[in-house]
Chains A and B, each alone.
Chain A
Amino acid sequence: MSGAFRIPSAGRLKQAKTARFSFDGQSYAGIEGDTLASALLANGVHLVGRSFKYHRPRGILSAGAEEPNALVEIKRDAARKTPNVRATVQELYDGLAAQSQNRWPSLSFDVGAVNDLASPLFSAGFYYKTFMWPKAAWKSLYEPKIRAAAGLGVSPDQPDPDHYSSRYAHCDVLVLGGGAAGIAAALAAAETGVRVILADEQAEFGGSLRFETGARIDGQDGFAWAQAAIARLQGMDNVRVLSRTTAFGYYAQNFVGLVERISDHLSAPGHDLPRERLWQVRAKRVVLASGAIERHMVFADNDRPGIMLAGAARTYLNHYGVAVGKNVGVYTANDSAYAAAIDLKKAGVNVAAIVDLRDHPTGPVIDEARALGIEVNFGRAVIRAGGKLRVSSMTVQPKNGGGERTIPVDAILMSAGWTPSVHLFSQSRGKVAFNDETKRFVPGTYAQDCASVGACNGTDGLSATIDEAYAAGEKAAKDADAKTAKGNKPKVDASESWSRGMLGAAPGAGPDTTVKAFVDFQNDVTAKDIRQAVHEGMRSIEHVKRFTTNGMATDQGKTSNMHGLAIAAETLGKPIPEVGLTTFRAPYTPVTFGAIVSHARGPLFDPTRKTAIHRWAEAQGAVFEDVGQWKRAWYFPKAGDDMHAAVDRECVAVRKTAGLFDASTLGKIEVVGPDAAKFMELLYTNPWEKLEPGRCRYGIMLREDGFIYDDGVVGRLAPDRFHVTTTTGGAPRVMNHMEDYLQTEFPHLNVWLTSITEQWAVIAVQGPKSRDIIAPLVEGIDMSDEALPHMSVREGKICGVPTRLFRMSFTGERGFEVNVPADYGQAVWEALWAEGQKHGAAAYGTEAMHVLRAEKGYIIVGQDTDGTVTPNDAGLDWAVGKKKADFVGIRGMARPDLVAKGRKQLVGLKTKDPKVVLEEGAQIVEDPKQAIPMKMIGHVTSSYWSENCGRSIALALVAGGRDRMGDTLYVPMPNGVIEVEVSGMVFFDETGGRLNG
């Protein structure tokens, strides 16, 4: 048994396949193929949720993606809880467990419903007006309370165990919407042989053919025709058919985002199945066949469970075999609801009355309804609904006033007409146009290569729709360069047709009474709220929307926008087009974060870059720090070491014997070509033409504004070849900066740039014993000071593999940087390490490297500079070629501000108490007794404990710093003021003798 309201003779589901499910703990039976909504209705359950603001009981309004009311939580397990699932979209599976939302303690008795009685407090814009005082209470009291009381589902609180997939795809023709129009367009395009993708949000294709019993195409029932056509399309190699796939965003140049739901409808999804797949499709042409959405009637208490759209009731009957009631009333302003009444009546459901707002409608459906014995009332309105947890009656009155009559019903089917779904068209930046005759917005001016067909284009009638869609499909294929091939246009034998209807509030909606005639069900916006917004001064529909929140819920006002607009226009006394339509934005329906993030989580969130020597450091127990995407060994603790102990030990070892350091992450660029030196002259402040091959130079690179951009040691390998190093973090941008200037400013130079950062692993060996460690492993390079002086480079071999051996130092000690091809990095490191062990060498990490260089006053770009520091500020005037006529930044450096007195200059700081280590970033003042806010004259850029100096050391940017040598300055901190003395930047081996030590 799959529900008391199931009609065995109706619908397309196979009764044999039962699916058990629960709602709020109660067990029910449904049929495979049901949605949660159809299965609940089959069991007579209409009450499924509580509304957002007033906690009013809510039922099922629709049978599709536009559903504003029937939002539930689906729980598979503790981590798989999905809130705000539309019951009308969720397919039933055996074992499905659903819970209602926004109610306490239970759905039928909800304490929060007191909001309904207190609703005068919560009228439109209430949060702008109330709770304004005291100000502090907004953050601590009002906002949290309002958020807790108003709201829908609860977010899951555990990591999502599902995985999500993504796919980029290209096609010639992308057809969005798989109803009669979409299928016809896809057939026309596919038969030409071009690549076609057809997507529809439903599990089964067919669109409104699901309920239109009057449609016959190519001699078949409409829905059967749709299934046969889809089967044909699926069999074609050039066609991809995507069901359960929502096109949620239409972006520039026919780039469309779609989400395919893969496992949410499965009882036991396979472990390897993604939950959803994100499709990012680039299409030469797009055909929009997104259909139309039925509007409800706006009258008092139109939100009672059991009141639903007529087309939805018809879908539940004709597709799912479910009667939405036993005694239904119909309230309409167009013909389409008649067909629902007729179908229900024929299926044995009593139709109490049809109430038609129109005065003298005529047509075959009206005649048929009458012939079936249904009471039809023209020129009348339903002015209110009775019942609370379920509708129990409708009260009817002539629309211009008069006697009331209450008719008992257990469901009301309503239809105010159909709104073309122009969401995607609007997202494509197309401009809609208002058709005054049919009172609807339809696609007007196109901005992209797309076409709208069928109901979304305002085309009425199946025959006209298929003609239009087929032609559009053919044209799209042709425009996408189709070779000619011709298929057969589907022939429409019979169809249903309707249009028109009404917009805005019906007589039962007020005016200006206390009744709740809902316009926007999901955000609890009534006709009264919209009028109030206008009365309070809102003129633009954009303001009305934000003041009332009409159309701002997750359903984006699919059923409410046009009503809201019409009521605003009427209250303003303006025609609808003058009030305008709000902009549709992506996503069309909510998209999970999982689908958007897709693969980019966990290890794929961002690349983690590791050097060739990483595994050695890891095995040694190194602690790593993140430097950009790189993992760098920070320090190497021995048993019992804290970070300070490890760093002190590493720093002392380097100056006493030697240290090994993995410098592989340094950016490296090979600059090659006859004009290489000329190019270097232009990009760096230093002179390069006279640098001999085999020698190195410390280079500074500026931006055009004269500020330091990057630095590094550059070796000249040959007259036409430089090996440039950059900072680790600066590597990509320096490459871009150089390439940019080369291509745009200096294209006349014959020189090329190649990133070799990852070609070479770099092992720095620094310290008095460094040469002794390296020499035994090197072939073909004379390691004597005469042959290989400080700041030189040679090519040769180490451990039998090619090396570029630099003699250079970032520690102030005799030092080398051994470059070897990356795959040999770890093995050469191990060989050097073994040699180093004979001399008591240590491995050191980035922290010790920072301390050692600070002891020598060597700057780190980005730490001691911040993008406002000139070479002079940093004490690096010596690195600027005084005779050079041009280089990037030369004019910037001459700007008045950059040569003015009193600029912040880099200096050393020594704390009066040598044990005190300053905090990096701490501010510096002249007089600690001045009133707060004090005048800050600089800040600390680098600060460390130096075991080698036996005291703390610091570098700082201080206004006029070099004129303050020996002065006492002050660093105010929360625990007191620290006295410091301004000093030179070199704290260790001021004469530099150790470079050759």
Chain B
Amino acid sequence: MAKAAAKKTAAAASPSVERRPALAGRSTAATGAKVEVLPPADRISLRAPEASIAALSKALGVTLPKKPKTSATKAGRTALWLGPDEWLVIDEAGNDPLTDCAAVSALHSAVGISHRNIAIAVTGAGAAATINAGCPQDLSLDAFPVGAASRTILGKAEIVLLRNAPDAFRVECWRSFSDYVFTFLSEGSRDAAV
């Protein structure tokens, strides 16, 4: 069902204009943590009932997680559980997941949001403390282990949080909130050595 939309947006011929991502290249480093904007990635918002999960997993090449606050990664593609019928699929290998979903006939909704979101990496011993400056989640490794993912808040902005490693997080937010989120994380990192 995503066919109609996907067919035309998928094939990327060479654009005659340059891509200018928000905040491109911004980074800051404090004693406890480093905050840096990540390169663009392909993303979809995937919605589907239980019955479609197997077919979609097969098409995407990554098993869609069914457990709350979890994610699954394979070959540069990560599926984050956001709700009982909702996943954020991020592809950092240059393969648009929208194209893969277009071939699936099982009931689902796949919407391209590659440009909607911006990703910011927070790394270092104080990474969790940096995020906890404005995010009320328990980021201990027991409660939020490597691979854990959650749609949550940072200050006054909504974010999606993914833990890549004990000391490394990926923070996704909407494009126009990225300046706020980046600035907030930079402020948080100043106090993350504690």
> Interface on A for B, CB 8 Å cutoff?
163, 165-170, 195, 272, 274, 277, 280, 282, 599-600, 603-604, 606-612, 629-630, 670, 672-674, 693, 717-721, 750-752, 754-760, 780, 795-797, 799-802, 821-824, 826-828, 830-831
Q: Does B74 contact A (CB under 8 A)?
A: no
Interface membership of B135, Cβ < 8 A:
yes
Beta-carbon contact of A797 and B13 below 8 Å: yes
A547 CB to closest chain B CB (Å) equals 41
Known: A672-B109, A752-B47. A800 touches B16 (CB 8 A): yes
Interface residues on B, range: 35 or more
CA distance in complex: A670, B175 (Å): 17
Task: Please measure, in the bound complex, the distance between the C-alpha atom of A609 and the C-alpha atom of B22, giving whole angstroms.
Answer: 12
In contact, A758 and B116 (Cβ under 8 angstroms)? yes
Contact A827 B116, beta carbon cutoff 8 Å? no
Q: Once the chains bind, are B113 and A756 in contact (CB under 8 Å)?
A: yes
Bound-state CA distance A496–B13 (Å) is: 85
Known: A672-B1, A758-B175, A831-B17. A802 touches B45 (CB 8 A): no
Q: Are A802 and B19 in contact (CB under 8 A)?
A: no
Bound state CA distance, A607 and B182, in angstroms?
Answer: 11
* Selected A-B contacts with CB under 8 Å, 7 pairs: A167-B191, A282-B136, A599-B187, A717-B4, A717-B5, A759-B113, A759-B116
B115 contacts A599, C-beta separation under 8 Å: no
Q: How far is the CA of A272 from the CA of B31 in the complex (A)?
A: 11
Instruction: Known pairs A170-B140, A831-B16; list 6 more (Cβ under 8 Å).
Output: A604-B183, A721-B4, A750-B107, A751-B109, A759-B112, A821-B114
Chain A neighbourhood of B20, CB < 8 A: 612, 823-824, 826-827
- Assuming the contacts A282-B138, A604-B180, A754-B109, asked whether A720 and B1 have C-beta atoms less than 8 A apart, the reply is yes
Residue contact A608 to B132, C-beta cutoff 8 Å: no
Write the B142-186 contact mask toward A (1 if CB under 8 angstroms, else 0): 010000000000011100000000000000001111011001100
Q: Which residues of B approach A to under 8 Å, CB–CB?
A: 1-5, 8-9, 12-22, 40, 45, 47, 49, 85, 107, 109-117, 129, 132-138, 140, 143, 155-157, 174-177, 179-180, 183-184, 187-188, 190-191, 194
B176 and A599: CB pair below 8 A? no
A758–B43 Cα gap in the complex (Å)?
13
Given contacts A801-B15, A823-B20, contact A170 B113 (CB under 8 A): no
Give the docked Cα–Cα distance between A165 and B193 (Å).
12
Enumerate chain A residues within 8 angstroms of B156, measured Cβ to Cβ: 600, 606-607
Q: Nearest chain A CB to B11's CB is how many angstroms away?
A: 9
Chain B residues within an 8 Å CB radius of A752: 47, 85, 109
Q: How far is the CB of B40 from chain A (nearest CB, A)?
A: 7
- Residues of A with C-beta under 8 A to B47: 672, 752, 754
A889 to chain B, nearest CB (A): 26
| Nearest 3 A/B pairs, CB to CB | A718-B4, A827-B17, A609-B176
Alpha-carbon gap, A167 to B47, bound state (A): 34
Cβ A599 vs Cβ B45 within 8 A: no
Identify the closest chain B residue to A665 (Cβ): B176
- B136 to A280, Cβ gap below 8 A? yes
Contact pick for B114, options A612, A629, A759, CB 8 Å:
A759
> In whole angstroms, what is the CA distance A874 to B50 when docked?
44
Q: Within the assembled complex, what's the spacing in Å between the Cα atoms of A295 and B111? A: 67
**Are B175 and A612 interface neighbours, CB within 8 A?**
yes
Give the Cβ gap from A692 to chain B, nearest Cβ, in Å: 13
Chain B nearest CB from A525 CB (Å) reads 40
The residue from A168, A170, A718, A824 contacting B17, defined by CB atoms under 8 A apart: A824
Q: Whose C-beta in chain B lies nearest to the C-beta of A796?
A: B8
- Bound form: Cα–Cα A757–B194 in Å: 38
Q: Would you call B133 and A166 a contact (CB within 8 A)?
A: yes
Task: Tell me the minimal C-beta distance from B4 to chain A in angstroms.
Answer: 3
A754 touches B176 (CB 8 A): no
Q: Is the CB of A603 within 8 A of B176?
A: no
Instruction: Give the chain B neighbours of A282 by CB distance below 8 A.
Output: 136, 138
A603 to B177, CA, bound (A): 12
Enumerate chain B residues within 8 angstroms of A607, measured Cβ to Cβ. Answer: 156-157, 176-177, 179-180
- In angstroms, how far is the closest chain A Cβ from the Cβ of B97? 14
Q: Is the CB of B115 within 8 A of A672?
A: no
**CB closest residue in chain A, given B11:** A802
In the docked arrangement, what's the CA distance between A476 and B40, Å? 47
A170, B116: Cβ atoms closer than 8 Å: no
B187:A827 contact, CB within 8 angstroms: no
